[in-house]
Structure 1
Amino acid sequence: MAFLELHDIHKSYYLGKEEFPVLKGIDLNLERGEFISILGESGGGKSTLMNIIGGLDRNFSGSVIINGKKLDHSKEKQLDNYRRSTVGYIYQSYNLISHLDIVDNILVSLNMTKLSSSEKRQRAIDLLSQVGLSDQIKKYPNQLSGGQKQRVAIARALASDPDIIIADEPTGALDSQNTKEVLEILDKIASEGRLVITVTHSQAVADYGTRIVHLADGQLDGDTRLKPAYPVPDNEEKLESKPLSAGASYNDAFKHLKYNFWRNSLIMIGTAIGLFAVLLFSGLGNGVNAFIQDQINSMINPNSITVMKNPSGKKLSSAAFQASLSKTASQPQKLMLKDSEIKKLNDVKNVDKVEPGYQLSNFTLSRGRKNANGSNMNTWSKAITDNTVATGHKPGKNEIVIGKTQAVSLSNSKNYKKIIGKKVVISFPWINGNNRPVQVKGTVKVVGLTKGSGQTAVAAATNYSTMKAILKKSGAETKANYVSVNIKKSTQVKQAASDIKNIKTDGKYTFGAITVGDILDTVNQYVQIATIILSAIAGISLIVSALMIIVTMYMSVSERTKEIGILRALGARRKDIRRLFTAESVLIGLFSAAISLVIAWGAQVGLNKMLYGIVKFNMVQITPTDVVTTIIIAIVISFIAALLPARRASRLNPIDALSAD
């Protein structure tokens, strides 16, 4: 039984509906140890027959039997494995990969064997020594002569220890001396027990082998034995093949990335700028959130809960309750709390202190002819920290602390602190016991200045007894319109707030509760929205970067078409080709992420140094989560961008790819 058997091989090409037969019933038996030359003129079907034997051409009729087993050309995986383990190719045009040195060219095949990394490299060097190139191992293909390139191609064909060597016009581009040397090497390969098949149109080359098979017009018209086949060694050890690993694909991708470094570096920088913008805005959002939290916590005790009347009687979330408060602006009586209602708060678990008080949405301070308007005035409680007072002390009886804005309005911008110790008149609208509007006025002494003003800051404050006395003197309603409830531990605040919201009077929910956490959540939500919008704007550049990567990958596929054909001929699977391009794209993404992190770190240091003198706070805070997210975004974008080019590369016909310029 022959090692390789061809039975009734027919192959035709079609132009429209017109058929052009190329092979017309080929029957041929070939043995290991033979150096067979398939001789014939151009167009006679020699290369087509070699593509069928080599497992590259699947569209034919007939059967190919290897060592007694039929090769099923309809099963792509079987053909990949066959090319990987059984066939080695030598081409007239060498088909070396230009961006790899000659050792790496051989490693391309060896990466599909089970040898260790060190064994692969040593075998590559040994093979180059066998073909007389031991002094050239650091060179690239473009640094070699034609004869040297063909020797590298022979070494690569032998790398996976195949049983069949297919040499397609191996001496067509060589001079007479190199031709002789290459033929001697091929003869030596056959003497080792391999089947060497050479396609040639040269009678001189054909005469060098052990057997000549003549092919003309798609048919065999001659089979001449020149000398006996070489003996096949017994019990020989064979290298085991395996599919190309992901690590090998990434290594090859990295080498190609380095080869086109300057072109790829522009893409990396462009992608890095988009990633940097997203990273910077995320860090800025983190910093603003942290700054707001720091400012609020410095003025408002995080253990406190602001409790107010719930006019709706329905159980509301903190956000919904805060939104509903604006509806009571014209009906302040709905927020007045009875003493009996306030007492219920003392029964809530983990409550440390209950302090009724007053909140004013607006007020006016007067001193002589000067007036100052303000908003957000509270009575002093445990909810307000001592840090709130920047200058002076917290208010006692008939005393008030005010903000810098009011102090400047009541004095001047240079000496505004001299307002401390001076008396001012406070006035604000309120209601009386009959729910009629009244104007409340009272005289108080300024004893301190608060740190700031705003929605969450305390613009001014008196103590509860002072405010109650002023209201009573003005004939106004003295019921509290809010209660500050202090909780023993910060970890108990959330549960206490929930318990307070569940208190009922006459079957209706009595209170709404707002914690520092609720305030922060609301503020942070706005900051997050702003951050997302800014990041989305920055993300437009990522879309542009993705398009750049897609274009680059398509260019890479066009440039590496022949390489794709070489890899497929060596036994690489379609998924290996896809992974080769997605790996290169992902590496571009990873390097882009690294560049963006370096830029972002520099920007963070610079901006924080510049802004710290203004706000005494690091306003850009890039977290490990931001870093990880950026890396993931880079990988995802680069991977998705490579999918279509990689798919196109994997679908290329190996025969067409090998013939590409």
Structure 2
Amino acid sequence: MAVLELKNVKKVYKMPGGGTFQALKGISASFEEGEMVSIVGESGSGKSTLMNLIGGLDSDFEGEIIYQGKNLRDYTKQELDRFHKKSIGFIFQNFNLISHLSLLDNVSLAMTLSNVDKETRDKRAADLLNQVGLGEHMHKKPDAISGGQKQRVAIARALINDPDVIIADEPTGALDAETTDTVLEMIKEIAESGKLVLMVTHSDRVASHCTRVLRIDSGSLISDTTQDVEFHKKPADKKETSPVKNMSLTNAIRLAFLNMKAKFGRNALVAFGSSIGIMAVVLMLGIGRGVTNYIKSTMVTYTNPNVTEVHKQSLEMDKKQQEKVQAGDSSTIGSVREDHISMMTGTSKKNTFSQKDIDKLKKIKNVDTIQRGYSTFSLGTNKVAFNSNTANIMMLMTMSKSVTKSSITKGHAPKKNEVLLDQATADLLGKNIIGKKVRLSLTIGDKPIEKEVKVSGIYDTQTSTIVVRYGDLNQVFKDNGQRLKANTVFLYTKNSDNTKAIKDKVKKLGYSGSMQETMTDMFTQMLDVITYVLAAIAGVSLVVSAIMILVVLNISVVERTREIGVLKALGARRKDVRRIFVSEAFLIGLGSGLLGVVITEILGFAINSVTKPAYDVNVVNLEPQFLISGIIISIVISMLAGLLPANRASKLDPVESLRKE
């Protein structure tokens, strides 16, 4: 029964300048298992074209090439891939071994593409290399062996998946006479084992070793003769049929890694160049977070973490007010300005808390105690005097649990009829002012009043400030026929872990936090914007990195065109080739990301080692999400850059690729 049958096979090429050229003019022949057939012809006779069609490397032909009852022209891409993996073995004139793979990996490559496990494929490849006399060289690279040895490796590779048909294209063309006889003897043994061997040659000496000779001239079969040669055909072993698998992602990554290892210097430089962009982005984010945390921690030192400061309304404008102010609405601008002034001076009725407000705040979960407070900002209306020295007070505020012990740098918290002063005001009044009585002049409504109080300590602030007890200030208001209404409320919780939830609830109820919180949020937002802008500017270098990777992988496609042709001849799918190149891009991205993160860590440590002793602050705060994001960004950019070359590689024509020098 015929293994392979050709029926009126024709092949026409379209010429670049127009017109056509008929390379094959109706070839018909039938081949059985165990035949050793030479196809002889001069250069340009069409013999290589015929072999490409039989090998399934070119499906654009007329007529029929029937294998297992089906015309190769009608095979789907998946069927052609299986045909290359299981049914056909190629032996090339120029060996076409992959230089960065060991002999063992070269031979087992077809099984790698079929996703055979490593142990099985290595054993099979080692056995074949031993059969061709190269067992002791299996871990060498192709450049370390002779031409005859390379051809023996190619023979072992062709046999790895036990195919039905072996196609040998000028297998002795690059060998000397002695080596030619050795290789021909090996090919003869393959045919005697029951396989069909089709050998393309222009040498009558090579053809004389074959059982049958087909001569082709100008695309036509001019003779088909059987030769009487010594041939000991053996019964073919029964093949175990097993489903053909496809190459796994793991094997694709492994092949990519082996290629990158072979060109380590170039790939290391590309990874280093890309890592600079990653380092710049991550470092900018780390500096931004470090400065933000420093501002927040500085603000927190002046407040009690267990206390939530509540105001009736915020200095921030709502959305409608912002739109009108931006549009230049003078009445809105004036109204907002007046509201801000009255709120800061403590005269705004909108900013005072009613009992209903107090009761609402008391109901917030985990609030243990609630404390009323009052603050006002003034210019020239509130003063404090000692002997002949007088100082203006800009900020008057009542004592609360938000004033921490650490914020009282000298003395103690005020008791009845006692106050805290800031350091600058205390120095202006006189030395050793703590424990001394001073005259406090306030304007309540339109009425100026004076009260003698004792200085209990110094409050750490940069603004001229006096801190009094709420009860004392309330009494002053009562004595002057006024009613003190709290414009600040302090919510205390025993567990500081509850503070954030309390602050969120306060905002949800329509109240606002302290001015410090508002200012901190504003600074944080500004720093975030600046940080992301700087990171985006640094990120421009990532575009350069992507272009660099694109260029390098395109060069790699050109360098490895023949390798791609070999992979496709062995049954690699487009998807497999694409995976190999995308995997290389992935490895470059991973390498550059890890390198960028390491460099950033080193720079961050160096910067912090300078700023920590000098300013007691770690300027660079490299949070884990920044480092992870840097690696992910590097991988994504590299893989996106690698898609175009990978797609280009996958679309290369195997016939043209194998011709590439």
Shift in alpha-carbon separation, 1:310–1:602, aligned structure 2, 3 A: closer
Map Cα deviations across residues 412-456 of structure 1 (whole Å, 9 max, x no partner).
xxxx9x56556677778x661xxx6x77877655544445558xx
CA RMSD between the two structures: 3.6
Name the stretch that deviates more: 440-449 or 566-575: 440-449
In the alignment, what sits opposite 1:506?
A: none
**Whole-Å separation in 2 of the counterparts to 1:97 and 1:399:** 90
Match of 1:551 in 2: 551
* Matching residue of 2:409: 390
Distance 1:635 1:224 in 2: 60
Measured after TM superposition, the shift of residue 338 of structure 1 is 6.2
Change (3 A) 1:95 1:487: same
Partner of 2:220: 219
**How many angstroms apart in 1 are the aligned matches of 2:653 and 2:307?**
73
Encode CA deviations 1:45-91: one digit per residue, 9 max, x unaligned: 11111111111102111222113333345622211111111111111
Deviation readout 1:166-188 (Å, 9 max, x if unpaired): 11111111110111111111111
| 1:28 counterpart SS class | strand
Q: 1:260 aligns with which of 249, 255, 263?
A: 263
Alignment partner of 1:652 is 2:652? yes
Change (3 A) 1:210 1:400: farther
Give 1:622's aligned amino acid.
L
Q: 1:608 maps to what in 2?
A: 608
The one-character-per-residue Cα deviations of 1:598-635 (angstroms, maximum 9, x if unpaired) are 22222333333322224444443323322322221121
Does 2:541 match 1:525?
Answer: no
Map of 1:337 onto structure 2: 352
Distance 1:33 1:606 in 2: 73
User: In the alignment, is the contact (CA less than 8 A) between 1:83 and 1:571 conserved in 2?
Assistant: yes
Alignment of 1:440-459 (within 5 A): 446-451=455-460, 453=462
Report the Cα distance in structure 2 between the residues aligned to 1:372 and 1:19, rounded to whole angstroms: 104
Q: 1:463 aligns with which of 440, 465, 469?
A: 469
Matched residue SS, 2:135: coil
Aligned positions of 1:222-233 closer than 5 A: 222-227=223-228, 230-233=233-236
Alpha-carbon deviation of 1:329?
2.3
Matches within 5 A, 1:14-29: 14-15=14-15, 16-29=17-30
Partner secondary structure for residue 414 of structure 2: coil
**CA offset digits 1:546-602 (Å, max 9, x no partner):** 111111111111111111111111110101111111100110111112212222222
Alignment of 1:544-623 (within 5 A): 544-623=544-623
Which residue in 1 is equivalent to 2:142?
141
1:156-167 equivalences under 5 Å are 156-167=157-168
**Displacement of 1:12:** 0.6
Alignment partners' CA distance in 1, 2:172 and 2:76: 33
- C-alpha separation between the residues in 2 aligned to 1:459 and 1:65? 100
- CA deviations on 1:267-294 (whole Å, 9 max, x unpaired) are 1112112212222233333333443443
CA distance in 2, matches of 1:450, 1:212: 108
Say which is worse superposed, 570-579 or 378-387, in terms of deviation.
378-387
Cα deviation, residue 151, structure 1: 1.5
Distance, in Å, in 1 between the alignment partners of 2:466 and 2:547 is 56
- The residue type paired with residue 7 of structure 1 is K
**What is the SS of the residue equivalent to 1:166?**
strand
- 2:137 match: secondary structure: coil
1:500 offset after TM fit, Å? 6.0
Q: Please tell me whether the aligned partners of residues 109 and 570 of structure 1 are also in contact (alpha carbons under 8 angstroms).
A: yes
For residues 607 and 562 of structure 2, the distance between their equivalents in structure 1, rounded to whole angstroms, comes to: 50
Deviates more, 1:300-309 or 1:595-604: 300-309
Q: Give the conservation status (yes or no) of the 8 Å contact 2:115–2:248.
A: no
Aligned counterparts of 2:183 and 2:219: Cα–Cα separation in 1: 28
Identify the residue that residue 375 of structure 2 maps to in structure 1.
Answer: 359
Shift of residue 642, structure 1, vs aligned partner: 0.4
Query: Judging changes above 3 Å, is the alpha-carbon distance between structure 1 residues 624 and 499 closer, same or farther for their aligned structure 2 residues?
Result: closer
After TM superposition, list the pairs within 5 Å mapping 1:161-180 onto structure 2.
161-180=162-181
Q: What is the alpha-carbon distance in structure 1 between the residues aligned to residue 311 and residue 115 of structure 2?
A: 75
CA deviations over 1:67-120 (Å, ceiling 9, x no partner): 333334562221111111111111111111122222222232221245421222
Mapped to 2, the partners of 1:648 and 1:97 lie a distance apart of: 20
Return the match for 1:486 from 487, 492, 516.
492
- Residues 270-326 of structure 1 show CA distances to partners (whole Å, capped at 9, x for unaligned) of 2112212222233333333443443344332344333333499x9999x99xx9986
Out of 266, 274, 279, the position equivalent to 2:277 is 274
In the TM superposition, residue 489 of structure 1 has moved relative to its aligned partner by 5.0
Offset at 1:471? Answer: 6.7
User: Partners in 2 of 1:425 and 1:603 — Cα distance?
Assistant: 56
Q: Partners of 2:596 and 2:307 in 1: how far apart?
A: 42
Q: Deviations over 1:535-554 (max 9, x none)?
A: 21221121211111111111
Q: CA deviation at 1:10?
A: 1.0
CA distance in 1, matches of 2:159, 2:394: 87
Q: Check the 8 A contact 2:585/2:638 in 1, yes or no.
A: yes
Could you say what secondary structure the match of 2:108 adopts? helix
Q: Check the 8 A contact 1:440/1:471 in 2, yes or no.
A: no
Count of aligned pairs between the two proteins: 638
Answer whether contact 1:440 1:476 (CA < 8 A) is retained: no
Q: Does 2:289 correspond to 1:283?
A: no
Q: What is the CA deviation profile of residues 335-377 of structure 1, one whole-angstrom value per residue up to 9, with x for unaligned ones? A: 4526645654575344433322222345677778988778665
Q: Which amino acid aligns with 1:330?
A: I
1:348 maps to 363
Question: Which residue matches 2:329?
Answer: none
Alignment correspondent of 1:91? 92
TM-score (norm 2): 0.86
Query: What is the CA–CA distance in structure 2 between the aligned matches of 1:604 and 1:487, rounded to whole Å?
Result: 37
Q: Residues of 2 paired with 1:648 and 1:259: CA distance?
A: 22
Q: What is the distance in 1 between the residues matched to 2:392 and 2:207?
A: 107
Output the CA distance in 2 between the equivalents of 1:473 and 1:633.
68
- Residue identity in the other structure for 1:464: Y
Where does residue 400 of structure 2 map in the other structure? 381
CA distance 1:356–1:39, change in 2 (3 Å): same
Q: Measure how far apart 1:158 and its partner are.
A: 1.4
Three-state SS of the structure 2 residue aligned to 1:538 is helix
Q: Residue 484 of structure 1 aligns to which amino acid in structure 2?
A: F
Identity percentage over the alignment? 39
Instruction: Name the counterpart of 2:326.
Output: none
Q: Which moved more, 1:477-486 or 1:194-203?
A: 477-486
State the distance in 2 between where 1:126 and 1:200 align. 29
- For 2:38, the equivalent position in structure 1 comes to 37
Secondary structure of 2:311 counterpart: strand
The answer on whether the counterparts of 1:308 and 1:482 sit within 8 Å (CA) in structure 2 is yes
In the other structure, the counterpart of 2:186 is 185
Q: Does structure 2 retain, via aligned residues, the 8 Å contact 1:441–1:470?
A: no
Name the CA shift for 1:51/1:346 in 2 (closer, same or farther; >3 Å).
closer
Report the equivalent of 1:58.
59
Q: Structure 2: which amino acid aligns with 1:9?
A: V
Q: Kindly tell me: are residues 20 and 473 of structure 1, through their superposed partners in 2, closer, same or farther at Cα, counting changes over 3 Å?
A: same
Which segments of 5 or more consecutive residues in structure 2 lack a partner in the other structure?
Answer: 324-332
* 1:394 aligned partner, one-letter code: A
| TM-score, normalised with respect to structure 1 | 0.86
